[in-house]
Amino acid sequence: MRKAEGRRPLVEPYELLLHALNRAAASSSSSLLRRTHALIHTTGLWRKPVLSCKLISSYGRLLNLRHARKSFELMPATTTRAFNCILKAHVDGGQLRSALDLYSLSLPPTTAKIFHDAMTFSVLLRGCSDLEPDLHLATDLVHFYLKFSRPDHAQKVFAQTPHRDLVLWTTMVDGFLRNGEHGEAMRLFSEMRASGLQVSAAAWNALVAGYARGGMAAQALCQFRLMQAAGVTPDCATICTILPLLSRSAVLSSGAAAHGFALRRALEGDLFVVTALVDMYGKCGKLSHARRLFELAGDKDAALWNAVILAHGAHGDGEEALRLLRRMEASGEKPNGITLTAALSACNHAGMVDEARWLFQSMAEDHGLLPSGEHFSCMVDLLGRAGRLQEAFFLVTGTPAPPPEQVRGALLAACRTHLPDAVPAQLDLPGGAAGVMLSNIYAESGRWEEMARVRTLDRGGGAVHAFKVFDALHPQMEQIYEILSHLEAVVRLEHHQGGC
């Protein structure tokens, strides 16, 4: 049967309805919009996502949120574009609370499978920007900007907030410290104290912890002392921040003083404090103190078990570390990846090769854990120290992916000690600390060409360029002689200044 000329039965109604929706929205005609909506339903084209989105947007422009919401809810499958349209309709209609409620309903663990994109958050943030200055909103926005490393935006929000409480000040100090802005964080902290607010322990903790995270132990301990001088009593969080700093520096007297403070403040019953104390005494050489605190603790979590196993391992008592691991399993506390790293490290310090091999092989079967780079590194280091290079090679090369740098470094260290002239091809990969070690191995064994290749690739050159004396054919001849002339001038200047 011949089709009538010029007829497009499926396309024409769709295009006409889309045109009608655009016209209704442009002319703000409610009657035309309702008639078009009725036609969309009678033709069955309401299932088309583009028409549904246009319908929602058109009702939104006319501030008819009830019909916009109904059109959204009747969609057979909600798309991200349609969700953004209904959010925009509510925001434009001054119904920010309804928009936020809709957004909350789209988040897990709800059954709504709606994916958000940049437009989703742009609509919501635009709605929030129209609000009157609010302390809770300002704090949330500051936290949001600092979390995504935009301290400049956080500073603008902070400056536009007339009344600032301690939470907002602390959020600013903590966020700037996390972004590495230590000077600005200290300035904000000083301003907070000068503002007349009663600075709490939480604010001081944010400052102390920020310096500790940045590896600035002296500044962290200084702020800890200033905190006490200001009459603010340290709490559990303060002690748990300070003790690891004392552990790393192995300052037993200061650690014991912190322990005494915890006793006077009745903080020794806190599990986090006990774990930090066990770790501190273990690293300061007082294994008996660490073990006594561990045994006196009532409830023991995985972190406390890990701390005492690490302490025994660091002191070369691998057998006791494995006994503690078995006690941990018998108590019902499940070992995690850190526990097994601690146990393997204990075996490494004690030279317990067979026990470590058994533990490594049982990780997946007995504990449901896949070995990580740290576990491989411990095993390779242990086998390398024992002179079992072939077994270490097999362990590394038996994995489908290239070995991580830390594993490669451990095996290269073993090669450097036992077999410097036979580095496996799988390890001959430049880059990072392992690349530096590889070039040193080649240099020590007199393999200068391999050393030059590795060092050149480490610098990102990707290729070695050779040239000869009086070479006039090299494509980079001018640049080469320019650099040589500069080096010659530098050498002559230094020679002249040295008076030789």
For residue range 106-149, list pLDDT tens digits in order.
Answer: 777 655 667 788 888 888 877 776 666 678 878 888 888 898 88
Question: Is 106 in the same domain as 192?
Answer: no
Q: What percent of the chain has pLDDT over 90?
A: 25
151-159 helix and 166-178 helix, angle to the nearest 10 degrees: 160
Taking 80 as the threshold, does the pLDDT of residue 359 lie above it? yes
Averaged pLDDT, 89-95: 86
Calpha distance 20→43 (Å, rounded): 14
Residue 213 lies in a domain: yes
Which of 206, 233, 260 delimits the end of a domain? 233
Mean pLDDT of the chain: 79
Residue 199 lies in a domain: yes
Calpha distance 257→242 (Å, rounded): 11
Domain count, the chain: 3
User: What six digits make up the tokens of 157?
Assistant: 């929000």
Taking 70 as the threshold, does the pLDDT of residue 210 lie above it? yes
Question: Is 111 in the same domain as 177?
Answer: no
Going by the DSSP 8-state scheme, the letter that residue 430 receives in this structure is: -
Residue 58 lies in a domain: yes
**Least confidently predicted of 245-259, 275-289, 350-364, 390-404:** 390-404
Taking 90 as the threshold, does the pLDDT of residue 494 lie above it? no
Q: How confident is the model at residue 387 (pLDDT cuts 50, 70, 90)?
A: confident
Predicted pLDDT at 244: 86
> Where residue 116 sits, what CATH number does that domain have?
1.25.40
Residue 315 lies in a domain: no
Residue 237 and residue 200 in contact, taking contact as beta carbons nearer than 8 Å: no
Residue with tokens 């533990």: 359
Predicted pLDDT at 475: 54
Nearest alpha-carbon partner for 271 in 256, 293, 292, 288 = 293
Question: Is 119 in the same domain as 166?
Answer: no
Predicted pLDDT at 385: 79
Predicted pLDDT at 440: 62
Taking 50 as the threshold, does the pLDDT of residue 87 lie above it? yes
For residue range 263-303, list pLDDT tens digits in order.
Answer: 888 888 889 999 999 999 998 889 999 999 999 988 899 99
Question: Is 79 in the same domain as 127?
Answer: yes
Which residues make Cβ contacts (< 8 Å) with residue 217, sequence separation at least 6? Answer: 211, 245, 248, 249
201-213 helix and 182-194 helix, angle to the nearest 10 degrees: 170
Question: Is 85 in the same domain as 139?
Answer: no
Residue 210 lies in a domain: yes
Predicted pLDDT at 10: 46
Question: Is 190 in the same domain as 125?
Answer: no
- For residues 131-170, one letter each, b for 16 or more C-beta atoms within 10 angstroms of the residue's C-beta and e for the rest, the string is eeeeeeebbebbbbbbeeeebeebbebbeebeebeebbbb
Averaged pLDDT, 308-317: 92
- In terms of phi and psi (left: phi > 0; alpha: psi -120 to 50; beta: otherwise), the region of 460 is left
Question: Is 91 in the same domain as 194?
Answer: no
> Could you tell me the residue range of the domain that residue 101 belongs to?
9-131
Taking 70 as the threshold, does the pLDDT of residue 498 lie above it? no
Residue 300 lies in a domain: no
Question: Is 147 in the same domain as 104?
Answer: no
Residue 120 lies in a domain: yes
Question: Is 46 in the same domain as 123?
Answer: yes
Question: Is 226 in the same domain as 138?
Answer: yes
Q: What percent of the chain has pLDDT over 70?
A: 74
Calpha distance 167→137 (Å, rounded): 12
pTM for this prediction:
0.60
Question: Is 57 in the same domain as 161?
Answer: no
Calpha distance 266→83 (Å, rounded): 53
Residue 240 lies in a domain: no
Which of 233, 262, 277 delimits the end of a domain? 233
Question: Is 82 in the same domain as 190?
Answer: no
> Where residue 200 sits, what CATH number does that domain have?
1.25.40.10
For residue range 164-184, list pLDDT tens digits in order.
Answer: 999 999 999 999 999 999 999
Predicted pLDDT at 461: 46
Which of 70, 99, 131 delimits the end of a domain? 131
Taking 90 as the threshold, does the pLDDT of residue 324 lie above it? yes
Q: Which residue has the higher pLDDT, 441 or 148?
A: 148
For residue range 218-264, list pLDDT tens digits in order.
Answer: 898 899 999 989 999 988 899 888 888 877 776 688 788 888 888 88
Per-range mean pLDDT, top range of 4-13, 79-88, 100-109: 79-88
Predicted pLDDT at 320: 95
Calpha distance 88→438 (Å, rounded): 58
User: What six digits make up the tokens of 422?
Assistant: 């036979």
